[in-house]
Amino acid sequence: MANPLFDALFAPLAQRDDAFLILPDGAGITGRDFLAMIHRAAHALTACGVTPGDRVAVQIGKSPQALAVYGAAVACGAIFLPLNTAYTADEVDYFVGNATPRLLLCDAKALPALGEVAARHGARAETLNADGSGSFTDLCAAQADSFTPVPRDADDLAAFLYTSGTTGRSKGAMLTQDNLLSNAQVLTDCWRFTDRDVLLHALPIFHTHGLFVATNITLLAGASMIFLPAFDLDQMLRLMPRATSMMGVPTFYTRLLSDNRFTRDLVAHMRLFVSGSAPLLAETHVQFEDRTGHRILERYGMTETNMNTSNPYDGDRRAGTVGFPLPGVELKITDPATGATLPQGEVGVIEVRGRNVFKGYWQMPDKTAEDLRADGFFITGDLGMIDDDGYVQIVGRQKDLIITGGFNVYPKEIELILDDQAGVLESAVIGVPHPDFGEAVLGILVPAPGAAPDLAAIDAALRTSLARFKQPKALEVMADLPRNAMGKVQKAELRKLFAARFG
């Protein structure tokens, strides 16, 4: 029996004597050598007691060795569980207690705390540092460089990804081999990736964007990656001439645009720039195209579904939209109260169905039944609409909907106006408790560099553009908005910060 994900992504590396990974210093790791790393790591996982279906949790820095552990888990039939490197020991304790992994890999500096976490939940702890050293690396060095992959079915679990947990405890989304493989196949085709591509990879690999989108597509296409530990502006500019494509979060693009070295000539050879994980400001779209001649391709995905939609490779990549449903993905807009499908042009909850949609939440059958309908449609919790041309627009999260005086207010509508105001770099609109209205609309502004927004002028502009119930009761100015590791604004943190704004 086959191991579909391993056979499609990793087995072809055996035929590659070219560089699969290109490191910041210019050194390369061939496909053949990287596959040997995977095989040694698979033997090491087995030596640590990992068997098919076991979880392998990792909280480790980005490195070739870390990426090899992902391939090794697939080879062993284990369930790969990458954890954000910013999580504290207390947060990791929850994930380990919930997922009950056989093995926890961590940085040596974190071992005193995480070793106790692992022991408390019956897991073995080994170390793997960002420079590739560690006890697990030492164990790998003693192993054979060939390994026979464990047979798996397309419906077998391949990974857990935990949601951010902004409304309660994080949930472990169970992703199957077919969830990951089918999505990589669709994206490789839609975005025209081939073995001639070199992807500039500065994303983390504990998240679906950097791991299951960027890495899986590169592997499936037989392409190469310039593999950076993190986003570093100088390295990005230095190495971009060697790349053909790049995937990033909006912050990547704004930082590139902030540097005069980022020019049209520097990227004239580039084929594709993709953005996701957080909304890209329309202003960034325009600035990027003016500077480079390239139009960023924006797409939409989730922890539970991988990618759902994409702007077209050929055709109009529209700012403020996430394009069309991907081939094989059904998408509809529904009434949040009744679940009934809404007419085109109306705002409601986005629901999706397809091979990309996860199997459910680990050990949470009630939550799975709440979010995953019997007919296979997943209730994303994102509010959106489909415009007259079929483009999907994201309005916001259902939990971010503001109900003020009995009226529904969609933050995105107000944010688009605020973002256009003089002196404003970006904005966030939230609902906070109010004694009369239940919730009040509050606008939070980040000034453009060197600017001081005129709050009175902005308030006047809002009065002419919005119905009275939509107008913010107040405007606040902050130097920066709180964001998670992938650049998403953390509105739950803002709601806590301003909870007492109106008494």
Give the three-class secondary structure for 408: strand
Range list for CATH 3.40.50.980 in the chain? 4-10+32-152
CATH, domain range 198-362+379-397: 3.40.50.12780
**Beta strands in 69-197, from DSSP E residues, in sequence order:** 79-82, 103-106, 124-127, 157-162, 172-176
Strands (E), 256-343: 272-275, 297-302, 306-310, 324-325, 330-334
Could you give the CA distance from residue 453 to residue 444 in angstroms, rounded to a whole number?
11
Q: Whole-model pTM?
A: 0.85
Write out the residue limits of the CATH 3.40.50.12780 domain(s) in the chain: 198-362+379-397
How many angstroms from the chain centroid is the CA of residue 334? 24
Largest CA distance in the chain: 71
State the Cα angle at 478 between 477 and 484, rounded to 5°: 140
Query: Kind of pairing, strands 55-59 and 79-82?
Result: parallel
Report the SS3 class of residue 490. coil
CA distances from 12 to 115, 200, 218, 222, 478 (A): 36, 21, 12, 8, 50
Give CATH for domain 4-10+32-152: 3.40.50.980
The CATH code belonging to domain 401-497 is: 3.30.300.30
Q: What is the pLDDT of residue 168?
A: 56
The tens-digit pLDDT sequence of the chain (503 residues) is: 799 999 999 999 999 999 999 999 999 999 999 999 999 999 999 999 999 999 999 999 999 999 999 999 999 999 999 998 888 898 899 999 999 999 999 999 999 999 999 999 999 999 999 999 999 999 999 999 999 999 999 999 999 999 864 445 789 999 999 999 999 999 999 999 999 999 999 999 998 999 999 999 999 999 999 999 999 999 999 999 999 999 998 889 989 999 999 999 999 999 999 998 877 878 888 999 999 999 999 999 999 999 999 999 999 999 889 999 999 999 999 998 899 999 999 999 999 999 999 999 999 999 999 999 999 999 998 989 999 999 999 887 777 878 787 667 878 878 888 999 999 999 999 988 877 677 889 999 999 999 999 999 999 999 888 878 889 999 999 999 998 766 788 888 899 899 889 87
- Gap between the Cα atoms of 429 and 395, Å rounded: 12
Q: Which residue has the tokens 């003089």?
A: 422
Which residue(s) pair with 431 in the sheet?
441
How far apart are the C-alpha atoms of 503 and 501, rounded to whole Å?
6
Residues whose CB is less than 8 angstroms from the CB of residue 60 and which lie 6 or more positions away in sequence, other chains included:
66, 69, 85, 105, 106, 107, 128, 129, 130
Which pLDDT does position 167 carry in this prediction? 45
Token output for 61: 């820095």
Q: How far apart are CA 318 and CA 312, in angstroms?
A: 9
3-class DSSP state for residue 391? coil
Tokens of 162: 């935990």
Q: Please give the DSSP secondary-structure letter assigned to residue 316.
A: -
Residues near 306 by beta carbon (within 8 Å), at least 6 away in sequence: 175, 179, 180, 183, 208, 212, 213, 356
